[in-house]
Each structure stands twice: as C-alpha cells, then as structure tokens.
A = this chain, B = another copy of it.
C-alpha cells in the first residue's frame, strides 16, 4: 500500500513505483542489464526522455516502462489501420495482397510461435536431461548421450535402478572403486554436489550479468503484462536466450524447481519477438497481447503436453483480454507447439505428455472420501507454502546481506539441496522421474521396487515422509532465488508423495478390513487392480497440492487429464481440486502468483474476484472529498468550489501557451480534463500530458508567431489571428473527445467492472455534467487493497 501512495495524483499516471521490485532486480544487479532500460522510479518526469525523440520512434515507444496501456485507444488505433487496409483492398493486386497478408498475419505469427516454442522446449528438455545426468556420470562411448539413450545405444539390458555398463559413473573415472564401498559413495556424493553447485552458479551468473529478468518463474509478470502492464525487456531476446540456457543449467543442478513456469515465459518471449515481424501486432500493445495469450497457451502445451489445458490456462489464469478469436488461435498455437515437440521427441518415447500413464484407473465411490481428504490436505499444504514462501521473500527483500548476494544464496541453497537430497532414493533422482515412479502402478517386477514391496513398508513410509518434508522446506527457500525456476513440478512432487502415502495407508486399511471375516463382502474390488491403486492417489494428491498452491481449477483438471491421458481419472481429480480450492480460499484468497504480484506491487487488477463494496466513485476519486472538512450535504456545491482548486484542468479556450507550460511544469499528472470554463467545469474532453508537450514543443519550433502569449484553443471556435499579434494555437486534434465518465454516485463495483472489462486507464467523475475528479487504475488498486485489508 505504501508503495502506491506517492503524490496525491489526479492524473492518469498509473505506473506504479516498483521500488521494491527494482530493488530486487535492478539495484542488486547493477553490473549490467542488457535487456532492460535503467528505470529510476523516483524521477518524477520519466516522460521527458520521450519528448525529445521525434514522431516515428515514439510511435513504437508509446508507453513508458512500467506503464499501463490504454486498451480502448490501442484497439481504436487498430480499427483505423484496418479501415485503411480495407480501402486499399480495391487496388489490384498490391492492395489485395496486403489485405490478405493482414488477414493471415495473426495465424502466420502464431504458427511461427508454435513452431519455435515446440523446438525450444524440445532442445531444453534434451539439454536439461543430459546435463542433469552428468551429475552421476558420463556416456563412455558417446558423451553427448544422456543415461537412458546411452544405455539404449549400447544395447545393454537396462534396469530401472541399476545402470548399464556404457554409462560410466564418475567415481569409476578416477579409480576402480567397488560400487558398494564407502569411498565410491563419498566420491559420488562429492561429484553430485560439485556438479549441482557449478550448474546453479553458472545459471545465476548468466542471469545476473546478461538478463536480470530471466530469473524466477515469470508467470506473475506474464499475468501483469497480459493485463496491460508494460515491462520493457521482460520479453526480449536476451531474456529468452539467458532464460533458456539458465533453465537447462538450473534444472541440471537438481534444485527443487520446475521447467514449466519458465517455459510459459519463454513462449511469451517468442511471441513478443515474432510479433515484431508483424507491425499490426508489434506496434500495438493491445493487439500484441493477443499473440502473447496464444504464446502462453503454447508454453503450457509444451510444458505438459496439454494443448487444451494450455488454452484453458491462458484463459483462466494468464489472460485478461481474451476475445474468442484469440481462443481459437491459441488452440492452434498450442497444438502446433505440441506437434513440433512430439516431432523433436525429447523423451525418446512417442508421448508428449510429461507423465504418461497407460493403465486404466478404476476407483470405487467410497474412495472419494480419501480423495476429498487429499484435497483438504493439498489446500492446507498449499496455503502454508504460500505463506512461508511470501514471508521468506519479504525477508529477502528487506535484508541487506541476503538481497545483495543472490549468488551466494543460490550456492548455499544448491549445496544444501544436493548434499541432503543425495541420501534419499526419491529426492536423489530428478523430480520428474520420482513423479513418474509414484504415478506408476505396482505390477510386474516388484521385488526391486521399494514402492511396491509391502514387507518394507516402514522404510517406505519413512523415506516418503522425509522426502515430502525436505521438498516442502527446500522449495520454500528455492522459489524466488535468482535462477529460472518454476513451481509446477515441485508442487506436483509434493502432492504425489502425499498422495502415495495416503494411497498406501488406504490400501492397508482396506486390506485389514478385507481380512476381517464377514466384511469381505463389502469389497467387490481387487486391491491394486480395481481399487486402491496408490498410483491414482499420487495423481490426485498432485492435483490437490498444485491446486492449493496455484488455485487453478478447470485448467488444472484438464492439464492433469491430458498429462496422464486418462478420462476415468477426472472425477477423483475434480473432487480433490474442489476441496483443495475451498479450503485454500478459506485460509487465504490468494494463490502463489497473486501473492507474488502483490508482494512486488504490480498494478494487476484481478479479473476473477467479486467485490461487494459499499463505496461510490466520489469517495475514491482524486481530489478526494474526504480531505475537505466534513460538510453538510446541502452545502456540497460550496464545498465543490473549494475542491475544484485542487483538480488541475485546462479550459477549452482562454489559456495561453505560457499557462499551459507552467501547468506542465508545476504538476506531474499524465493528463488533464479539458473543461469549458473554470466556473462551470463542464467537461469537453481529455488531453494527455505527452500530447500537450509535443504539440507545444512542435509549435514553438515551427511556427514563429506562436509565442508565450498565444491563446490555446481546444474548441473549434478559433478567431482569426491579428496580423503581427500572437497567433492562436489550435489544439483540437490532440483532444480526446470521448473520455470515459461516470457520475459521482456510481458504485465502485461498476467502476471496477468498467476498468476490468474495458481496459481503462482512467475515468472522469462528473456530477450534473461538471467534472469533479478522476479515478485512475492506481486509485482503484489502492482502494481495493485498503478495502481488503480492513
């Protein structure tokens, strides 16, 4: 809240002071920011830099960094462009070609994005796998192969837990250790840790030096960007390159993080880069967001192998402005990306889904009780995780030592993770392998597998419980460090462990009930075959915890369904997700991404919530009525006189060029209402600071008769200029004649609705046709936070 309270602005300034955010990203990473402009949140007039450039470049850089776009204006611009092309259409053949190109541009663009996203994901998957396997050893014959392919190519019989001959473990490179000896174990451990620390250090260095925006999951920022926020360089090529490389490195380091969130960020980078090939999208921030929405869908599609889930994720979680045309295009993009990924075939199988399960899931109705319990557990665990992670992130921000030494932090976390994880069979392998194991059923050769050996039940309980605790604690500290790191896989891992634990327990209970004489009739199912499959519980648990952490609903269920390719499985997932969401929302309304958005103070207007406030527009607008001494209702008009002085307005005609210039100097508002006169305050239109500045600047330069005494006319009634006197300045063309207005008695819910649905930057508050004040997006956000906190 304190972040938003600078200067009692009345204007359309809705950039937010990202002091805290920049403190994490810019201030502690000052060594160089290849992709982002140096943004000083405390300089009042950041627009000055834009004033000096001439028209063509300003067309591109229409919005400043950390500004919010004006959807209505951008869409209007696009419609204008569209009309122009339509007129040209008659010119054969060039106009027709251009019109055709224009119509197909969106599809071609998302096609490219899909192809690039699929290829990128494939390369990252292959790279991360190989580098991750290098922790334990190397392929003797062909060093470029990962463990699985190495063993395949060597035509060795390949066992699940043991390795083939071709895969040389590091200790063996040094000495001919006995693989059961302590020395072997120690050397292996040291190599394991050393590789992990090396990888993560490299990752954090890359990020620090080349692209500070490449760290983290990126989803909170993507949400803000899609809602109309501008963060320069966040989706740039450097971010893309460094995040790709960093993601491979950080995945290889064995940290408790996932590739899936960053994959969405990478796909959006690709979307942003390709959109510049198509001016229709590249030069229009609102239209660009259509491509970005599709890109986000493609990101989820390649991350999980779930095209439909991707579209729903983009719709439910990420996107803000989502016309149905975009949905269809997003689906196309997600599907192309999925096909390409399948073509690249990173997992060596023909499956694109991350955790493919090819057995039938059967369950009985009584099992819905443990599924619901798993949901409750997932909701609680998720909320606990969010709480702890946010507390730690706040501490990191405010702590000088921690905040300024991201490299040491990463190294320490990696050291702890690697050295501890090594001693548990479940945490030692990659999270994806562990999840796959937990999802699997118990059939075939179960003798080797601790998961299915009912004689070693206590060992299993111990190991799983330990793994869960470890994952939970280490992920709290990991999510937020300065390497590319996602949260999906760690959440799924936690959920899969808890689910498997629950599954084993339920299966034990069922078994003992079934063993009781006389009770066996209740069960027509065969344990492990028709009912109580611990693998199913693992999946349900995964959905529950993921739901608790992210608060996704439909898209989560669809993703889980596509992930495993089994329709039978929808009902248990749905039950768990519902309970998880209910209990989670009961504890705290915010998911992890919303919590991080709030932590960073991004101007994100959530499109989901319902806000039953009993406030009207006049109580929120600036200048505020509340600041005045309380007045009798009947004296509102006299009170209004006083207030009026606070609202900086421009009169339609009568103000001189000098007046305007001093107004610009004295205030830092980004826009001014234009009224007929100071007395009546009847609204004519709205003009932005930038437009006035540019107009005055140009006029001063090019028209010699325009002097300080020239009168500026926003109306059409411009008198003829007196020869020799000061020439009048016509400014009607920079006047926005269609500003959005509401009356002072409009309920805030309606105002918020207008902001959300129409994508406004500001709205003018009127009463009886007179301008009273202005409400900006920033005011809305501050109001909502105040309301929520009280």
B612 touches A86 (CB 8 A): yes
User: Which of A82, A308, A562, A753 has the most chain B CB within a 10 Å cutoff?
Assistant: A308
Q: Once bound together, how far apart are the Cα atoms of A558 and B328, in whole Å?
A: 12
B553 touches A331 (CB 8 A): yes
The residue that A571 contacts in the complex, of B316, B339, B742, B743, with Cβ under 8 A, is: B339
Contact with B along A685-727 (1 / 0, CB 8 A): 1000000000000000000000000000000110000000000
Residues of B within 8 A of A567 (CB): 562, 565
Please tell me if A168 contacts chain B, counting CB pairs below 8 Å.
no
Q: Separation in Å of the A330 CB from the closest CB of chain B?
A: 8
Q: Once bound together, how far apart are the Cα atoms of A610 and B571, in whole Å?
A: 38
Residues of B within 8 A of A680 (CB): 769
- Given A327-B554, A743-B739, A766-B769, answer yes or no on A335-B574 (Cβ-Cβ < 8 Å): yes
Residues of B within 8 A of A553 (CB): 324, 327-328, 331
- Given A335-B571, A738-B742, A738-B747, answer yes or no on A311-B72 (Cβ-Cβ < 8 Å): no
B743 touches A75 (CB 8 A): no
Q: Separation in Å of the A131 CB from the closest CB of chain B?
A: 31
A71 (CB) vs chain B CBs: closest residue? B753
Please tell me if A757 contacts chain B, counting CB pairs below 8 Å.
yes
A75 (CB) vs chain B CBs: closest residue? B749
Number of copies: 2
Q: Once bound together, how far apart are the Cα atoms of A614 and B87, in whole Å?
A: 12
Please tell me if A665 contacts chain B, counting CB pairs below 8 Å.
no
Please tell me if A88 contacts chain B, counting CB pairs below 8 Å.
no
A684 touches B768 (CB 8 A): yes
Q: Once bound together, how far apart are the Cα atoms of A770 and B325, in whole Å?
A: 38
Q: Separation in Å of the A768 CB from the closest CB of chain B?
A: 5
Q: Once bound together, how far apart are the Cα atoms of A486 and B562, in whole Å?
A: 31
Contact with B along A747-779 (1 / 0, CB 8 A): 101100110011000000010111000000000
A676 touches B768 (CB 8 A): yes
Residues of B within 8 A of A744 (CB): 737
Please tell me if A570 contacts chain B, counting CB pairs below 8 Å.
yes
User: Which of A554, A685, A744, A750 has the most chain B CB within a 10 Å cutoff?
Assistant: A554
Please tell me if A467 contacts chain B, counting CB pairs below 8 Å.
no
A746 touches B738 (CB 8 A): yes
- Given A83-B612, A612-B83, answer yes or no on A76-B750 (Cβ-Cβ < 8 Å): yes
The residue that A750 contacts in the complex, of B323, B554, B685, B738, with Cβ under 8 A, is: B738
User: Which of A616, A758, A770 has the most chain B CB within a 10 Å cutoff?
Assistant: A758
Residues of B within 8 A of A482 (CB): none
Q: Once bound together, how far apart are the Cα atoms of A739 and B744, in whole Å?
A: 10
Among A535-573, those with CB < 8 Å from B are 553-554, 557-558, 561-562, 565, 567, 570-571
Please tell me if A366 contacts chain B, counting CB pairs below 8 Å.
no
Q: Once bound together, how far apart are the Cα atoms of A557 and B335, in whole Å?
A: 12
A608 touches B335 (CB 8 A): no
Q: Once bound together, how far apart are the Cα atoms of A76 and B612, in whole Å?
A: 9
Please tell me if A55 contacts chain B, counting CB pairs below 8 Å.
no
B747 touches A753 (CB 8 A): no
Q: Once bound together, how far apart are the Cα atoms of A79 and B558, in whole Å?
A: 32
Pairs A–B under 8 Å by Cβ, sample size 24: A76-B747, A79-B610, A79-B749, A83-B614, A308-B308, A311-B554, A328-B553, A331-B557, A335-B574, A565-B567, A682-B768, A683-B743, A683-B769, A684-B768, A738-B742, A738-B745, A738-B746, A738-B750, A741-B742, A750-B758, A753-B758, A766-B769, A769-B769, A769-B770
- Other contacts beyond A316-B327, A327-B553, A680-B769: 12, CB < 8 A: A83-B612, A331-B553, A331-B574, A634-B716, A676-B768, A684-B768, A737-B745, A738-B743, A738-B750, A741-B766, A754-B758, A768-B769
| A-B CB proximity, top 8 nearest | A769-B769, A737-B745, A738-B746, A682-B769, A757-B757, A328-B553, A79-B612, A682-B768
User: Contact residues of A with B, CB < 8 Å?
Assistant: 72, 75-76, 79, 82-83, 86, 307-308, 311, 316, 323-325, 327-328, 331-332, 335, 339, 553-554, 557-558, 561-562, 565, 567, 570-571, 574, 578, 581, 607-608, 610, 612, 614, 616-617, 633-634, 676, 680, 682-685, 716-717, 737-747, 749-750, 753-754, 757-758, 766, 768-770
